[in-house]
Amino acid sequence: MSRNLQETRLIFASGIALMIGCFLYFWYIVPYHICFKEQIQLFTYNSSYILSYFSKPAVFACLAGDFLTQFFYFKIAGAAIITLLLVLEWWLILLTLKRFSVKKYALIWSLLPVIVEWISFPNTSFSVALSVSFITALSAFIIYAKTSGKTTVIVGILLIPTLYIITGASVFLFVILAALYNIHKNKKKIIFHSSFFILVAIIPLILRHFYLLTLKQAYFYPFQDIKQMLSLVVLAFIVLIFVCFKKLRGQNSGILYFAISFVVLVSILIAGLIKNTDRKQESIFGITIEAYHNNWDKVLKIAEKEELKSPVATCYTNIALSKKSLLGERLMDFYQPFTSGLLLPIAPGSGWLTIFSGSDAYYHIGDLGMAQHAAMLGMIFSPKQRSARMMERLLETNLASGDTAVAVKYARILESTLFHKIKPDRLRDNLQQGTFRKDMIRNSTNTQASLELLAESNPDNLPAVDYLLCYHLLNKNIPAFFKAYTTYYKGKKTHVPKVYAEALMIYFAVTKGTINEVSQYGIPSETVKSFGEYTRLYEKSNGNLAPMQKNFPNTYWLFYHFAVMNN
């Protein structure tokens, strides 16, 4: 078997192995990170939307990147697209290194920029446009390297402004590779090289006013900073090393050397992925995505498995419990950061993910005004200021409130997308009817006033009533809970939910209620007995948490006595 054939098979086998590993990573390890990228963008098929990409540089990179991102709606499609992009980059980098006569460890060196990008991809701010920009710049360099004579100068001068317009900051990679390539080929024409650098330096300055960009944005767009350009920097540095140290190019080394190098590189990749893969964030995104698809059982499954201490995760967990009529039963089974996990605060200081997620709970309880307010802010503060998910919420809130004209506007936008067209089943499942019977002026942070008015307007709105009761419980306001329970909830169900029964026992203990009063509220005898045991143990332990937590876990009594709000 010839040496070249061995190398070809080795490259092919390595490529297949990494392709499979890459696909499985994005499909099984961080699928929700990828799906979430689709929800914070909106790609529509209409001329005005397409033309909007021409208002900024990197028009092709951004347009193609967002076009591909829309398919991240499906987990398997997202994993497949990212894998193909990274493999294409790898192949183009291999071709680039061949132009510099790199043979020794070419396969290994070509993987380094790909690994950097692979590790960066799950980050919500890392766009597919960045990969498309990188690929386009590499393709342009390969075309440039095939030219000769005067054609090289003409092609280079034409490619620089063109690349800036269609790829943005990746044009700098092209210029660096072109200059190093000319040095490699002994074309040491200082004026020729200088013209390239001068041209690439002034074009962003000239066009930044047309594109309405700051100086930094003009030189980095579509990248936010140098960290997102790290894969480009790594490639440029690799090529620079080989140009400066010709002996490193050498001949291909033996298979053993390749195998050892490959194992080392894969180990670096695995270490990088372990360090940079945020499993907790993946679970939070997972709860968010499954809630969007109304998969409430999956939401609870993730919450039970991961034990997430995040207001966003708690918010969706509580919605899932409410959807399944279990909020009063299982409220204390999950992390509760007091009332901030019941209805997320839509206020200054809230993170963009909190604001982005905030509309769902308000819409669930029927507060359409706050749901619409939160959805609009979620659209504005999301990374791209375009969100298919928020657009759907705005459609739903306007339909529910009877504002048909506005709803039609959003419906037309969604009809020009691939996967967010109007879904009658989703509208039927989520559509809320009229909410408040009277108008009110309120502060957006005055959650209690909203819940009280919702319950007063429609006592049969059980989600709102449940949220009002839980709001008082999480504030440890037992008298207010008892009043709301008596007014809106008493007698509606034959079985008193566990958490409500435990809170009622606290009220009757404080007010010294009689057995007759307790019986009127239908509190189970098991709860009455457990409360007596809890009280005796609490007095015996002098308020020590450990024995109480061991014998009475997940009870409201434990929360009432021991939960403390931290900043």
pLDDT (tens digit per residue) in 257-297: 667 777 778 888 888 888 888 999 999 999 999 999 999 99
Tokens of 162: 């063109």
Q: What is the pLDDT of residues 30-74, one digit of tens each?
A: 999 999 999 999 999 999 999 999 999 999 999 999 999 999 999
**pLDDT at residue 7, as a whole number:** 62
**467, 343 in Cβ contact below 8 A?**
yes
Tokens of 488: 């809106």
Which of the four pLDDT bands, split at 50, 70 and 90, describes residue 563?
confident
DSSP 508-553: HHHHT--HHHHHHTT--HHHHHHHHHHHHHHHHTTT-HHHHHHHST
Of the two residues 493 and 234, the one the predictor is more confident about is 234
Is 40 in contact with 380 (CB distance < 8 Å)? no
Measured from the Cβ of residue 189, the count of other Cβ atoms closer than 10 Å reads 11
What is residue 518's predicted lDDT score, i.e. its pLDDT? 83
Max mean pLDDT range (94-108, 153-167, 443-457): 153-167
**Cα separation of 289 and 36, whole Å?**
7
Confidence band (pLDDT; 50, 70, 90) for 434? very low
What is the pLDDT at residue 438? 59
Q: What is the pLDDT of residues 467-481, one digit of tens each?
A: 999 999 999 999 999
To the nearest whole percent, how much of the chain has pLDDT over 70?
Answer: 90
- Which is more confidently placed, 126 or 8? 126
153-182 mean pLDDT = 92
Distance, CA of 132 to CA of 167 (rounded, Å): 8
Q: What is the mean pLDDT of residues 406-433?
A: 75
Task: Judge whether residue 431 has pLDDT over 70.
Answer: no
Q: Binning pLDDT at 50, 70 and 90, where does residue 505 land?
A: very high
- pLDDT bracket for residue 428 (50, 70, 90): low
Do the Cβ atoms of 98 and 11 come closer than 8 Å? Answer: no
**Residue 430 clears pLDDT 60, i.e. is over it:** no
Which comes out higher in pLDDT, residue 386 or 72? 72
Q: So what's the pLDDT on residue 427?
A: 57
Residue-level pLDDT at 292: 94
Alpha carbon distance 426, 304 (integer Å): 26
Beta strands in 372-473 (DSSP E): none
Question: What local confidence, expressed as pLDDT, does residue 264 receive?
Answer: 78
Q: What angle do CA 525, 527, 530 make, to 5 degrees?
A: 110
Enter the tokens of residue 281.
Answer: 């964030």
**What pLDDT is stored for residue 557 in this prediction?**
92
Q: Read off the pLDDT band of 425 (50, 70, 90).
A: low
| pLDDT recorded at residue 319 | 96
Q: Which of 273, 325, 252, 204 is nearest to 102 (CA)?
A: 252
| The total number of residues written for the chain in this structure | 567
Would you list the DSSP string of 409-422? HHHHHHHTSSS-S-
CA distance 179 to 177: 6
Q: Bigger pLDDT: 38 or 13?
A: 38
pLDDT band at 187 (very low <50, low <70, confident <90, very high): low
Give 20-30 pLDDT, tens digit per residue.
Answer: 999 999 999 99
Residue 56: per-residue pLDDT: 93
| Mean confidence (pLDDT) of the chain | 87
Query: What's 343's DSSP letter?
Result: S
Give the tokens for residue 276. 């940079």
List helix spans (H) across 422-477. 424-430, 447-457, 462-474
Share of the chain above pLDDT 90, in %: 50
In whole angstroms, give the CA distance from residue 286 to residue 34: 10
**pLDDT for position 488:** 92
User: Taking a C-beta distance cutoff of 8 angstroms, is the pair 343, 362 a contact?
Assistant: yes
Residue 540, burial from CB neighbour count under 10 angstroms (0-12, 13-18, 19+): exposed
Range 305-333 average pLDDT: 94
Domain boundaries, the chain: 3-276, 278-321, 337-465, 493-567
Going by C-alpha positions, the residue among 280, 319, 271, 323 that lies closest to residue 302 is: 280
Q: What is the pTM of this model?
A: 0.89
**What is the tens place of the pLDDT at every residue in 111-164?**
889 999 999 999 888 999 999 999 999 999 999 998 877 788 888 889 999 999
| Lowest-confidence segment of 145-149, 165-169, 461-465 by average pLDDT | 145-149
Of 50-64, 86-100, 155-169, 338-352, the least confident: 338-352
pLDDT (0 to 100) of residue 191? 65
Residue 381's pLDDT band (cuts 50, 70, 90):
confident
Does 361 score more than 90 pLDDT? yes
